[in-house]
A and B are shown apart, each in its own frame.
Chain A
Amino acid sequence: MTSPPPSDLEPTWSLAGLRLGIRLMLPALPGMIAFAVAVGATEARRGFGFLHAALMNLLVYAGASQMVAMEAWPDHLTVATIAALALLVATVNARMLLFGAALRPWLGKLPAWQVYPLLQFTTDPGWLITMRYRAEGGNDAAVFLGGALAVLVAWSGAVTAGYLVGALVSDPRAIALDLVMPIFFCAMVVPFWRRGRRTIAWCVAGAVALATERLVPGWWFVVAGGLVGALVEGFFADGADA
């Protein structure tokens, strides 16, 4: 399957793109909702007030890092322990540096005032559907916005429900809901797969991630594997298989 080459025109904004972004996000929502309920329930169980929890859900807006932060929440908040919390959250979310960098060649053609507010709503699935849409030749930035809106609505609703009703969710593992996001991620990148250099890059990414996970605590394996794999694809074998 060949994709049309991405155009170099300024990205457009259309209602159709907004709807497409929402639609592309739908398969990811069940997994995200299950996770958001768990995050909300954890906030309630740990004793966060409703307003603090809501503020965290909107400002941090990254569930995995919120779970890690709540796990590590210190008994006494001082400047030093707050800095340590912030650093911990930064390491969990460092992968987002790669997301933003990858969006630059496309969204960099838009005015900064349109992009920087939108970046607050960057999520893993939102980035993936946007990158795939772009790789297939799309040029409508509203797809990113649509996906972001779908996530925002689903996340806010589910995390609030989780906070209020808590542990109503029995065991998400039983119906494999804990695997929905990884499954969705893999389905997203199947169309990106190519023989040759790209396959080598993916193998390198996997190997580096596994090694990093063993050797370095925390979430660096995503950044290390993703970055090294991408560098391999960019730097080695200047063949014509790109």
Chain B
Amino acid sequence: MPDLGGSAALAAILAMGAVTYAMRAGGFWLMAHVPLTARVRRILGALPGTVVVATVLPLVVRDGVPAMLAIAAACGAMLVRRNDFLAVLAGLAAAALARLWLA
């Protein structure tokens, strides 16, 4: 039976919280010690796009057609209207319809 109670579980939770805060603060702390040249700034500025592509693409490959249609609909809506709400709604509608259709 998993050990969930008492001070050992508390210690595990505190340890998990501590390492997660180290991840949250560590990158910010580290970059205080790296000269922020134009190139370094460019690398850091590129991160939002590359992180999202790296997060989403494996998921899309795994989920298949509905996810692909959802992402395409959301990006299309964003390009045309530049409205976050509309993009999420378009993506959701596309995914729900695709799953209904394929079910």
Contacts and interface: CB of A to CB of B under 8 A. Distances in A.
Interface of A: 24, 26-28, 30-31, 46-49, 52, 55-56, 59-62, 65, 69, 73-77, 82-83, 85-87, 89-90, 93-105, 107-108, 115-116, 119-120, 122, 124, 127-128, 131-132, 135, 173-177, 179-180, 182-193, 198, 201-202, 204-206, 208-210, 213, 221-231, 233-235, 242
Given A105-B44, A182-B60, 9 more contacts: A27-B85, A49-B4, A107-B28, A124-B55, A183-B91, A187-B77, A206-B57, A234-B42, A235-B43
A227 B95 CA distance: 29
Contacts of B99: 173-174, 176
B84 A210 contact: no
Dominant secondary structure at the B interface:
helix
Interface string B75-86: 101110010110
B65 interface: no
Interface of B: 1-5, 8-32, 36, 39-61, 63, 66-67, 70-71, 74-75, 77-79, 82, 84-85, 87-88, 91-92, 95-96, 99
A223 B53 CA distance: 11
A185 B52 contact: yes
B27 A98 contact: yes
Nearest to B9: A52
A230 B44 contact: yes
B38 to A, nearest CB: 9
A73 B2 contact: yes
Contact of A186 (B27, B52, B66): B52
4 closest A-B pairs by beta carbon, nearest first, are A225-B54, A59-B17, A229-B50, A100-B27
A103 B28 contact: yes
A231 B19 CA distance: 26
A93 B20 contact: yes
Contacts of A55: 10, 13, 17
A172 B10 CA distance: 31
B54 A224 contact: yes
A101 B19 contact: no
Nearest to B58: A213
B32 A104 contact: yes
B57 A209 contact: yes
B70 A221 contact: no
A132 to B, nearest CB: 7
